[in-house]
Amino acid sequence: MTLTEEIQRRRTFAIISHPDAGKTTLTEKLLLFGGAIHVAGAVKSNKIKKTATSDWMEIEKQRGISVATSVMAFDYKDYHINILDTPGHQDFAEDTFRTLTAVDSVIIVIDAAKGVETQTRRLMEVCRMRKTPVMVFINKMDREGKDPFDLLDEVESELGIHVRPLSWPINMGQRFKGVYNIFQQTLDLYTPNKQTISESIQFADVNDPQITELVGEQDADKLRMDLDLIEGVYNPFSKEEYLKGDLAPVFFGSALNTFGVKELLECFVQIAPSPRPVSTLERMVDPLEEKFTGFCFKIHANMDPNHRSCIAFFKICSGKFERNAYYKHIRKGQQMRFSAPTCFMAQKKETIDEAFAGDIVGLPDTGNFKIGDTLTAGEELHFKGLPSFSPEMFKYIENADPMKQKQLDKGVNQLMDEGVAQLFTNQLTGRKIIGTVGQLQFEVIQYRLEHEYQAKCRWEPISLYKACWVAPADDSAESRAEYEMFKKRKAQYMAFDKEGRDVFLADSGYVLSMAQQDYQHLRFHFTSEF
């Protein structure tokens, strides 16, 4: 295969949703179709001692939720698919926001009973901002839920995107009989089974009398009326509109029962974009360029607890990555080569010899990488849009076992590199403060320190409102002098972040707004572009 053919058969996408909509279950079933796994894990079953392939961290298995983005690659027909299963929980939104910078399209999962929920709205804003093409999978049709037309209206109004159903359900809950696939004009009959696939029958026309025989007269008539209504109300499906991010095709099904998933996948590989151009500070990078470029969007500590290894996840933006070739680490200005690059199936890794634009590769990290780092074949490029958000919750972290100080320091440093939380060191007292966007992250950090690093920590309360990065507005002597005065006056509220930059920890909204008024020659930043 030529380089162009290899790149054009790539499909890299993220699955996003509110917690519990069935994201991880859908990921599992897509892997099942790709032959990547042969039996799906019951995500929350206590009887079956399997857990979801993509939820492999111990804490994920215990809680039945995803707390880290996991990457899975497999081949389906002539396509090479990279799925990123993201955490739905809002406390891990930052991980999900960064993951969305590394994908070319997105599948949003919506619970048929609950409709569009808060987290889905926030994630859709990021997709809209980046013009990412979106598909919608309305899940759990085997349970009672909202009327399908009401759900479509809700998706349009809440997510601000036009929709076009490409499959349509026949009833729901106990009476659920299947879906009519508008995209391929087939009828898929529902048989609840977590492991196998239901049968699919091709029809040239929805008025075929065999449909009436299969689903009954009442349901067949309702299906025909619904399809007429769809044709009248919604514009015909346009691939161009979808690729521009203006139109979302909608599919219905039940991921747990492996139903409606194949239709979604079949349509997805045909219409979803192959790798798209990515902007850098210097220029647009086209995926079909021959020279390799890529950026780090995620770091994961302890992928393999036996080896205490960190892995940096790189999205390849152009060309071909080769094992043992030399590439330039732009921030460090060094040439580096990688003898063990890996591709993923969640936690399982395989060493690879090459990878192409659109792929996600894991590079062993011994402290060389930070989120946002760029590797190229030599050109000076800086990928942008990987912010670190200002935390909203803060606690002092204290060592609960003086004999394990070294393990605690190592654990905290590696976990902070992942970008899930941020470490601040008070400039006056030297005490360490952890900042996060949600309470659950403190529990995850404490759990991982104890189980992965054998270090115990305890949290102590601290009352802070916001952390913001402070810098002089320009290089003038006036700005510099005001900056130094600010640091002296606010000494007890000044901290260093992990990079040694100055951070102001404001203890109330009033204090922060007064500081912004009083110090006109300073800039207060609420996201730090890495």
* Tens-binned pLDDT, residue by residue, of the chain (530 aa): 888 889 899 999 888 888 788 887 888 888 887 765 544 443 333 333 344 544 435 544 454 444 445 678 888 888 998 888 665 445 445 666 777 888 899 999 999 999 988 778 878 887 887 789 999 999 999 899 999 999 999 999 999 999 999 999 988 888 888 888 888 888 888 776 655 555 667 766 777 787 888 888 888 889 889 999 999 999 889 999 999 999 999 999 988 888 888 888 988 999 999 999 988 888 899 999 999 999 988 887 765 555 556 788 899 999 999 999 999 999 899 999 998 888 765 446 678 888 899 898 888 888 788 888 899 998 898 887 665 667 778 999 999 998 999 999 988 888 887 777 889 999 999 999 998 877 777 888 888 888 888 899 999 999 999 888 899 988 889 999 999 999 999 999 999 988 888 999 999 989 999 999 999 889 888 876 53
Structure tokens at 387: 């912010």
Residue 93 placed within a domain = no
One domain for residues 256 and 300: no
Question: Is residue 192 within 8 Å of residue 255, measured between CB atoms?
Answer: no
Candidates 112, 122, 115; CA nearest to 171 is 112
What's the 3-state SS for 345-356?
Answer: ECCEEEECCEEE
Q: For tokens 């159903």, name the residue.
A: 165
One domain for residues 462 and 485: yes
- Give the Cα separation of 490 and 394 in Å (integer): 18
Structure tokens at 499: 């990079």
One domain for residues 358 and 222: no
Q: Can you give the pLDDT at residue 529?
A: 55
Residue 312 placed within a domain = yes
Q: Can you give the pLDDT at residue 64?
A: 47
One domain for residues 453 and 360: no
Q: Can you give the pLDDT at residue 204?
A: 66
Residue 5 placed within a domain = no
- H/E element, 81: strand 79-85
Structure tokens at 290: 């021959």
List of E strands, 371-485 = 374-376, 387-389, 393-399, 422-426, 432-436, 457-461, 466-472
Q: What is the DSSP secondary-structure string of 124-161?
A: HHHHHHHT--EEEEEE-TTS----HHHHHHHHHHHHT-
One domain for residues 57 and 178: yes
Q: Can you give the pLDDT at residue 304?
A: 58
User: Is-above-0.85 flag for pTM?
Assistant: no
Question: Is residue 31 within 8 Å of residue 37, measured between CB atoms?
Answer: yes
Q: Can you give the pLDDT at residue 31?
A: 82
Q: How many independent structural domains does the chain possess?
A: 3
Residue 90 placed within a domain = no
Candidates 16, 76, 87, 83; CA nearest to 358 is 83
Q: The domain spanning residue 187 has which CATH number?
A: 3.40.50.300
Residue 382 placed within a domain = no
- Give the Cα separation of 172 and 252 in Å (integer): 10
Last residue of a domain, one of 326, 342, 376: 376
Half-sphere exposure of 522 (CA within 13 A, CB side): 25
The domain in which residue 401 lies consists of 387-529
Half-sphere exposure of 459 (CA within 13 A, CB side): 18
Q: Can you give the pLDDT at residue 386?
A: 63
Last residue of a domain, one of 271, 306, 333: 271
